[in-house]
């Protein structure tokens, strides 16, 4: 039996999709009234991630409302450090607070316990079942080793990960140990998502922009390449999207060297550069500015049209970063309609 054509998988496999696919990072979240309703009734954010009933429902909400081409697993990149044994708390209005590591000993004691992440895999199974027969691609994810290490070293993003950057500069051996641990844990974690039904993966390196030159090559490209090659060995058919946000000059070596199947780009990447220097290497995803989605109207429409014209069918339409909470729902509907109506 032929599989149903899934536009996202078509793009990721280098085929021409039947329409340009669209999904949005953070498409499940506070801008949706149906998400806020569940959030108001739940104990806290982490509890929502670890309760398959809730996480499944939240994952499906944007697919139902907007007919997105992807369902992205509702979870968080900080589940991996939690499964490694660090305590994690999401405080109201404050974002995540993660227990930190300090010396080699505090890194050595970390041991990945898959059981702690088991509810996430159950969510993947349930979402996959709900999507049966639909052209929607189920995307699993993890944070990249560098970005997750940033939180494990600094605990939160309030100080721009000054401590993590200091490790990179002054104690690279210690950072290497932590990153190796994260490569192993992320491999196991993503493999379990694939086994549970994830059809594609995204690696979020949100803080990739904070490293340059040799540090970028060593702490971003090399660990990502290792993680990708180990997954490809076991699951060659599962495409992987890389998102080294704000990598600037680093996007090109990242896409050439990591082995990812597609590159997600942030709003600062110029479309002519993206088309000429990046899309010629691999398919792209992105890169509408989330602020334009908040404002909507003609400005959004023009910017989306420029992206569609420039990047055409070797492209998955998305934002350049996540949907922000103040985004009007009707702007998202208008954007999805515009992308759907674009004739390839």
Residues labelled catalytic: 26, 30, 39, 76, 151
User: Which CB sits closer to ligand 1CP, 35 or 342?
Assistant: 35
Which window, 3-11, 27-35, 219-227, 283-291, contacts ligand 1CP (CB under 6 A)?
27-35
**Residues in contact with 340: Cβ distance below 8 Å, sequence separation at least 6, in sequence order:** 19, 22
Indicate which single residue of 11, 20, 22, 28 sits in contact with ligand 1CP (rule: CB under 6 A): 28
**Cα–Cα dist 307/288, whole Å:** 8
Residue 63 binds to ligand 1CP (criterion: CB under 6 A)? no
Residue 26 binds to ligand 1CP (criterion: CB under 6 A)? yes
The residues that bridge with 142 in the sheet, in sequence order, are 203
Please report, as residue ranges, which positions from 187 to 246 form the binding site for ligand 1CP (by CB under 6 A): 204, 206
**Residues in contact with 193: Cβ distance below 8 Å, sequence separation at least 6, in sequence order:** 73, 120, 121, 124, 140, 141, 201
CA 146 to centroid of chain Cα atoms: 14
Of 188, 82, 75, 45, which is closest to residue 139 (Cα–Cα)?
A: 75
Pattern 294-313, ligand 1CP, x by CB under 6 A: --------------------
Pattern 121-160, ligand 1CP, x by CB under 6 A: --------------------x-x-------------x---
**Cα–Cα dist 308/292, whole Å:** 15
**Cα–Cα dist 229/28, whole Å:** 30
**Cα–Cα dist 91/88, whole Å:** 10
Of 149, 140, 155, 322, which is closest to residue 220 (Cα–Cα)?
A: 149
Pattern 254-293, ligand 1CP, x by CB under 6 A: ----------------------------------------
Residue 65 binds to ligand 1CP (criterion: CB under 6 A)? no
User: Which CB sits closer to ligand 1CP, 74 or 216?
Assistant: 74
Binding site for ligand 1CP (CB under 6 A): 25-30, 39, 45, 72, 74-78, 90, 95-96, 141, 143, 157, 204, 206, 322
């Amino acid at each position: 039996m032929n599989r149903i054509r899934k536009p996202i998988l078509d793009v990721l496999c280098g085929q021409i999709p039947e329409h340009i696919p669209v999904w949005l990072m953070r498409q499940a979240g506070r801008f949706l009234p149906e998400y806020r309703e569940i959030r108001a009734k739940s104990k806290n954010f982490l509890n929502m991630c670890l309760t398959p009933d809730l996480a499944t429902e939240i994952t499906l909400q944007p697919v139902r409302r907007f007919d997105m081409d992807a369902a992205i697993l509702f979870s968080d990149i900080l589940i991996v450090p939690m499964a490694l044994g660090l305590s994690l708390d999401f405080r109201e209005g404050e974002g995540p607070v993660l227990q930190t590591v300090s010396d080699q000993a505090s890194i050595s004691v970390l041991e990945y316990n898959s059981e702690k992440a088991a509810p996430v895999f159950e969510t993947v199974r349930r979402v996959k079942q709900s999507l049966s027969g639909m052209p929607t691609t189920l995307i699993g994810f993890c944070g990249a080793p560098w970005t997750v290490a940033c939180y494990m070293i600094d605990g939160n993003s309030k100080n721009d990960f000054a401590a993590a950057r200091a490790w990179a500069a002054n104690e690279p051996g210690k950072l290497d140990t932590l990153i190796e641990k994260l490569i192993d844990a992320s491999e196991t974690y993503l493999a379990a998502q694939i086994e549970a039904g994830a059809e594609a993966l995204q690696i979020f390196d949100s803080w990739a922009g904070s490293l340059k030159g040799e540090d970028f090559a060593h702490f971003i490209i090399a660990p990502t390449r290792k993680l990708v090659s180990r997954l490809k060995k076991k699951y060659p058919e599962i495409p992987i999207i890389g998102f080294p946000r704000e990598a600037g000059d680093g996007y090109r070596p990242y896409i050439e060297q990591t082995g990812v199947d597609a590159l997600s780009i942030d709003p600062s990447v110029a479309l002519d550069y993206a088309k000429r220097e990046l899309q010629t290497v691999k398919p792209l995803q992105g890169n509408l500015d989330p602020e334009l989605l908040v404002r909507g109207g003609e400005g959004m429409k023009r910017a989306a049209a420029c992206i569609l014209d420039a990047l055409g069918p070797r492209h998955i339409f998305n934002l350049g970063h996540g949907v922000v909470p103040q985004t009007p729902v009707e702007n998202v509907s208008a954007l999805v309609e515009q992308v759907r109506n674009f004739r390839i």
